Structures are given as C-alpha cells and as structure tokens.
C-alpha cells in the first residue's frame, strides 16, 4: 500500500497560520516500511517539527512532488489537518484520508469527500475509550496545549508565579484559575503547580474534582443544579439559567486571579462564553487570560482569534494552534497516534489496512465510505 504525507506548511487550510507539525516521524516511517508500506513524503514535510528529509529517507521514505500523479497514486493520505478541496479531485476515488477533519464545521468538505468515494477517518471522532487511548489525537494534542497555554500565560504576566522570600521583600504566589478541567485543563493545572502558583479550577462535570485535587489544585464548588456528562464523557450544554449562575459564581474567583485559562469545550458545538468584558474589567491590570477556544468561537468576550489582545486592561491570549508551539513533541505524539491506529487494523497476511466498520473505533471515526456519510451523529448535525 502506498502512504502519502504532504507538507502542510505549504498547503495551508487558512492564511492565519503555518502548520508546523507532520503526520509522521522517522521512527513511524521505519515502522510503516517494515509493515510493507511504500511511504512518500512531500519535500520538507517534517522540517518545521525538526525532522529533515534525510531523516525520513534513511528510514525508507521517498521524497515526492505533491502533484496529481502522486496524489492519485496514494492508498492512504495522512494529514495533521484536512485536505484542501483542490486536492480532493486529485485523490484516488477509494483512497483513505486520515486527519483532523473538524467534521462538525466542515460539512461541505465532508460531503465532497463522500461524493468522491473517499474513505475519511476523522481523528476527532475516535472514541475516548481505554482501547483507543493510544490513538487519541485529541488528548495528545490537548495535553500539550494545556502546558503551552500555561507557559504563554506565565510569559505574559508581569509577575512571577512562585512565592519568593528575599531581603527585598516577599512575593506571594500567583493565583491561577482554570475553567474546564478536561485533558488540557488538567495539564495546565499540573504545569501551574510546578511553577509554584496557587491553583483553583472549575468544571461542570463534578467527577473531575478529585483529579483537580490530586494535582494539588482546589476545586471551586458551584451549585448550578443537574449538569453531568454524555455517555462519551463530554460535558452537556448548560441551560441559560445555569450559564448565568456559573458566570456569577465565578466572578470573584476571576477578579482575584492573576491568570485565568479557559478550556471549556462542547463536543461538536460552539464553546460556551464564560467570561464577559465586565468580568474582565474586575481583574488587576496586566492580568492574563488564555482563551483556548478563541479560534472556534471563544470562551472569553473580546478575545481575538489567532491573536493576543488587551481587553479592559487584561492581556487576552487567543492565539490557538497551541500544540504546534511544541511542534516536535506534537508531531511525535500525533505520529504515534496514527501508527497505533493503522497498526490496530492492519492485516499482516494481506498487508492491507482493513476498514472494519463493525469495529467500534472505526464505526465512529470513519465518517465517509463508499460514497456515503457513515456517521449518524454527523448526519444528524448536517440536517
Ligand atoms: P473537552 O475538550 O470537550 O472540554 C474540556 C473541559 O471543559 C471538559 O472537562 C468539560 O467538562 C469542560 N466544560 C464544558 N463546558 C464547561 C463550562 N461551561 N464550564 C466549565 N467547564 C466546562 O474535554 P476533553 O478534555 O476532550 O475530555 C472529554 C472527556 O473525555 C472527559 O470526560 C475526559 O475525561 C474523557 N477522556 C477519556 C479518555 C479515555 O478514557 N481514553 C481520554 C481522554 C479524555
């Protein structure tokens, strides 16, 4: 089977950023070639994550041009992001495309992929089960995002985070408030604790209180009535009344914090707005807020997608694309997720990737196949 990896810095899905990550590392190329794959890489595909072409060719990859012949020859195309619509026409009708497809917000692209007969595996739709953990790209990238957001916040704050007792005076530890304690939030908490800050956190899923406390953070208890999570562990959307109660109850904690990081997301939907401009105005000037969701709608009123802005005297970081700030680790982890995924469904006898749609992992993550959109959640969302 022929496997193709493009240089996504050259084929940007939008003009606001240059992709730094790559879908394979030299180590995963070595495993792919041992499995019997022919691996083709566009020139400099891994350069921005620290892997020159030679590191890949040493492991058996071939460097190719991303032209119609090459795209039309690939059986599997691995993306970090998703294909450009201009590339769809060039791909082989029954090729398998794997990447962050962002399917809830890319209806037109997904419909074209189905129409073209492509099989599409969207890594965001991989279930959050124990068996799928090693393939879980959402988690691998979110862990890094939590770390990066905390480091960016610490960098932007005009104070230090740990307590410092010196003859010139005593500096109190900074106060950090994390809203949303999923994969990214927990990693942000752990990073803030390592830097010596006092950490408070809140999540609508009360089950995470214990995890926050085990990392040394305090959990803010807010009574907003029945909340809970879906069968897949995702937060349920709050009612308007609950949202108002949450904002009210968080106000004092936000006003008292030097750094606030919001990581609240709702799977397949726009993220909730959690911090209003009026609340930002209560913070000390120079305080820092990181809005993890800035690119997809924002948890913070006034945050600017892809940028850092000063809103009501507060530095609001909405840069997004967090994990690619640590592109080498992000590439290593994502590439491991993909090789684990392909290895799981690779038939060693026939040396083929078997698209077993009865398997629970593929049943949910393969979103187009044989000319159809195959995922019910998406079919409903597209109505
Ligand atoms: P996510 O990115 O969807 O959301 C981030 C966090 O924001 C979540 O903890 C969510 O509860 C919280 N949130 C949503 N609305 C909020 C609000 N209004 N206020 C405060 N917080 C709010 O979540 P995620 O990090 O992708 O994790 C999703 C689920 O998957 C979790 O239950 C997680 O434990 C689970 N998970 C399981 C596995 C596994 O078992 N293999 C791996 C990773 C994640």
Cα–Cα distances in angstroms (integers) from residue 211 to residues 139, 198, 232, 235, 312, in the given order? 16, 16, 18, 16, 33
Q: How far is the CA of 87 from the centre of ligand 1 (A)?
A: 33
Distance CA 246, CA 261 (A): 16
pLDDT above 80 for 233: no
Distance CA 379, CA 198 (A): 45
Distance CA 300, CA 317 (A): 10
Please name every residue paired with 366 in a beta bridge, in sequence order, or none if there are none: 121
Closest atom, ligand 1, to C-alpha of 265: 4
pLDDT above 80 for 228: no
Distance CA 286, CA 73 (A): 54
pTM, 2 dp: 0.95
pLDDT above 80 for 40: yes
Q: How far is the CA of 161 from the centre of ligand 1 (A)?
A: 26
Pocket of ligand 1 (CB under 6 A): 128-130, 133, 136, 138-139, 142, 179-185, 202-205, 208, 229, 233-235, 238, 246, 263-267, 272, 274
Length of the chain as a residue count: 383
pLDDT of residue 235: 83
Sign of the C-alpha dihedral, residues 345, 350, 356, 359? negative
Average pLDDT over residues 86-104: 95
- CA-nearest residue for atom 37, ligand 1, is 128
Other CB atoms within 10 A of residue 60 CB: 15
Q: Let me know the angle formed at the C-alpha of 84 by 140 and 51, rounded to the nearest 5 degrees.
A: 50
Q: Confidence class of residue 227 from pLDDT cuts 50, 70 and 90?
A: confident
Interior/surface letters 354-372, b for 16+ CB within 10 angstroms, e for the rest: eeeeeeebbebbbbbbeee
Q: Confidence class of residue 129 from pLDDT cuts 50, 70 and 90?
A: very high
Closest atom, ligand 1, to C-alpha of 267: 3
pLDDT of residue 367: 97
Q: How far is the CA of 208 from the centre of ligand 1 (A)?
A: 9
Task: Specify burial of residue 53 (Cβ count, 10 A radius: 0-12, 13-18, 19+).
Answer: middle
Q: Which residue has the tokens 């691995």?
A: 78
Helix axes 137-156, 183-194, angle to 10 degrees: 40
* Three-class SS state of 40: strand
Average pLDDT over residues 227-248: 83
Distance CA 172, CA 182 (A): 28
Distance CA 203, CA 180 (A): 5
Q: Confidence class of residue 230 from pLDDT cuts 50, 70 and 90?
A: confident
- pLDDT tens digits along 335-366: 999 999 999 999 989 989 999 999 999 999 99
**Choice from 129, 180, 268 to test ligand 1 binding pocket (greatest atom count within 8 A of CB):** 180
Q: How far is the CA of 334 from the centre of ligand 1 (A)?
A: 19
Average pLDDT over residues 182-196: 98
Distance CA 24, CA 331 (A): 7
Closest atom, ligand 1, to C-alpha of 208: 9
Contact indicator for 97, 119 with CB cutoff of 8 Å? yes
- CA-nearest residue for atom 35, ligand 1, is 233
Average pLDDT over residues 322-329: 97
Q: How far is the CA of 215 from the centre of ligand 1 (A)?
A: 16
Sign of the C-alpha dihedral, residues 26, 28, 33, 37? negative
Closest atom, ligand 1, to C-alpha of 233: 32
Q: Let me know the angle formed at the C-alpha of 333 by 132 and 327, rounded to the nearest 5 degrees.
A: 145
Q: Residues of the chain with pLDDT > 90: what percent? A: 87
Average pLDDT over residues 227-246: 83
Contact indicator for 141, 323 with CB cutoff of 8 Å? yes
Cα–Cα distances in angstroms (integers) from residue 45 to residues 6, 98, 329, 370, in the given order? 6, 16, 15, 29
pLDDT above 90 for 213: yes
**Choice from 226, 233, 237, 322 to test ligand 1 binding pocket (greatest atom count within 8 A of CB):** 233
Dihedral class, residue 295 (left if φ above 0, else alpha if ψ from -120 to 50, else beta): alpha
Q: Confidence class of residue 229 from pLDDT cuts 50, 70 and 90?
A: confident
Interacting residues of 241 by C-beta distance below 8 A, sequence separation 6+: none
Closest among 360, 381, 369, 373 to 135, alpha carbons compared = 360
Please name every residue paired with 315 in a beta bridge, in sequence order, or none if there are none: 288, 310
Average pLDDT over residues 323-340: 98
- pLDDT tens digits along 262-289: 999 888 888 999 999 999 999 999 999 9
In the chain, what is the straight-line distance between the N-terminal and C-terminal CA atoms, in Å?
A: 36
- pLDDT tens digits along 141-173: 999 999 999 999 999 999 999 999 999 999 999
User: Radius of gyration of the chain from Cα atoms?
Assistant: 22
User: Could you write out the three-class secondary structure of 264-282?
Assistant: CCECCECCCCCECHHHHCC
Which residues have a catalytic role annotated?
128, 133, 136, 139, 234
Contact indicator for 23, 334 with CB cutoff of 8 Å? yes
pLDDT above 80 for 231: no
Distance CA 312, CA 154 (A): 19
**Choice from 264, 275, 294 to test ligand 1 binding pocket (greatest atom count within 8 A of CB):** 264
């Amino acid at each position: 089977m022929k496997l193709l990896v493009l240089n996504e810095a050259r084929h940007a899905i939008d003009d606001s950023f240059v992709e730094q990550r790559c879908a394979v590392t030299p180590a995963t190329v070595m495993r792919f070639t041992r499995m019997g794959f022919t691996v083709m890489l566009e020139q400099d595909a891994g350069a921005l994550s620290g892997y020159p072409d030679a590191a890949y060719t040493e492991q058996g990859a071939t460097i190719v041009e991303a032209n119609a012949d090459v795209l039309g020859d690939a059986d599997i195309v691995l993306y970090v992001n998703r294909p450009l619509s201009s590339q769809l026409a060039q791909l082989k009708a029954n090729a398998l495309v794997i990447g962050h497809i962002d399917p809830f917000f890319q209806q037109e692209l997904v419909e074209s992929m189905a129409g073209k007969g492509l099989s599409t595996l969207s890594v965001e739709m991989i279930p959050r089960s124990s068996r799928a953990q090693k393939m879980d790209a959402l988690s691998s990238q979110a862990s890094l995002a939590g770390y990066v957001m905390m480091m960016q916040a610490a960098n932007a704050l005009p104070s230090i985070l740990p307590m410092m007792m010196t003859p010139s005076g005593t500096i109190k530890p900074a106060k950090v408030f994390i809203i949303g304690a999923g994969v990214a939030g927990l990693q942000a908490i752990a990073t803030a604790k390592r830097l010596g800050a006092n950490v408070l956190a809140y999540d609508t899923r009360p089950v995470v209180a214990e995890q926050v406390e085990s990392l040394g953070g305090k959990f803010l208890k807010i009574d907003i009535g029945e909340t809970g999570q879906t069968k897949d562990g995702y937060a349920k959307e709050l009612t308007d009344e609950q949202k108002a109660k949450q904002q009210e109850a968080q106000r004092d904690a936000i006003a008292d914090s030097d750094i606030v990081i919001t990581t609240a997301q709702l799977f397949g939907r726009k993220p909730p707005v959690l911090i209003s401009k009026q609340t930002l105005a209560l913070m000390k000037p120079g305080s820092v807020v990181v809005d993890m969701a800035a690119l997809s709608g924002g948890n913070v009123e006034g945050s600017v997608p892809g940028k850092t802005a000063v809103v009501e005297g507060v530095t609001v970081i909405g840069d997004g694309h967090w994990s690619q700030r640590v592109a080498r680790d992000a590439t290593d982890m994502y590439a491991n997720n993909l090789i684990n995924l392909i290895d799981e469904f690779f038939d060693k006898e026939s040396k083929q990737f078997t698209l077993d749609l009865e398997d629970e992992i593929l049943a949910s993550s393969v979103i187009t196949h044989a000319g159809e959109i195959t995922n019910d959640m998406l079919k409903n969302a597209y109505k």
